[in-house]
Amino acid sequence: MARVLVVEDDQFVRSALIRHLSEASHAVRSVGTALEALREVAQVGFDVVILDLGLPDLDGAEALKMIRGVTQVPVIIATARDDEAEIVRLLNDGADDYLVKPFSVEHLSARITAVLRRAGTTAGERPVSEAFTVGGLVVDPSRRTASLDGRPLDLTRREFDLLAFLARRPGVVVPRRELLAEVWQQAYGDDQTIDVHLSWLRRKLGETAAAPRYLRTLRGVGVKLEAPSGEPEAAE
């Protein structure tokens, strides 16, 4: 059972989603506006949010940014819009998945299970704390916190996802295609997206591409995270 927030202004669609998700044993709450959604996610713990884009008070894309400002709860976009460029933009802006209407409740339930699995939890449960240490860097995926030499790092959602994915595999060169698939949930994309996030992440780690400390890029191969020379490799 997952705790689901349905954000949908169409009363017919909203009622159908509530009914079908409840029949699938999920605990469902629903709202019809972006501001109500923001209030709900700030006050109530959810496992996943189903977000429509055509909301009456604010476009769903802006609502997504607002939600990302207060929580990292997985968000599945559910909309009639099927423009590929917009789908890619929303995934880059923090959406975890994208469904084009109409879709079956079985399809939606499968997507809910998938995003919960990627988030490191199962329906109705919270992830077990498992922090990864690489040199002076400590990354805790369940609490979504990271620190360097005891100093908290202020990371965006995507920066954290990228760092956490690499921290799980210290010293291993991860191909760019795998980063796109696992961190950005894209089968294809522009390498520049990765380069930009790596640049921002390096800045916050106090290093540069020319003088790397933790993040090392192998041209034409991929990226790896490893402890600086003379520091412990890694621990869990």
For the chain, where are the E strands, in sequence order? 3-7, 27-31, 48-51, 75-79, 97-100, 132-134, 137-140, 145-148, 151-152, 174-175, 215-218, 222-225
Q: Does domain 3-118 have CATH number 3.40.50.2300?
A: yes
Sign of the dihedral defined by the CA atoms of residues 18, 24, 4, 90, in that order: negative
Q: Does domain 132-225 have CATH number 1.10.10.10?
A: yes
The predicted model gives 118-139 an average pLDDT of 68
Please check the confidence at residue 92 and state whether its pLDDT lies above 80: yes
More confident residue, 231 or 199: 199
Domain-wise residue ranges, the chain: 3-118, 132-225
Please, are residues 208 and 202 in contact by the beta-carbon 8 Å criterion? yes
Q: What is the pTM of this model?
A: 0.55
Please, are residues 76 and 115 in contact by the beta-carbon 8 Å criterion? yes
Tokens of 227: 């402890």
Binning pLDDT at 50, 70 and 90, where does residue 188 land?
low
Tokens of 229: 């020379």
Q: What is the C-alpha separation between 216 and 86, in angstroms, rounded?
A: 31
Pairing of strands 137-140, 132-134: antiparallel
Binning pLDDT at 50, 70 and 90, where does residue 79 land?
confident
Please check the confidence at residue 122 and state whether its pLDDT lies above 70: no
> Do 132-225 and 3-118 have the same topology in CATH?
no
Binning pLDDT at 50, 70 and 90, where does residue 127 land?
very low
Please, are residues 37 and 56 in contact by the beta-carbon 8 Å criterion? no
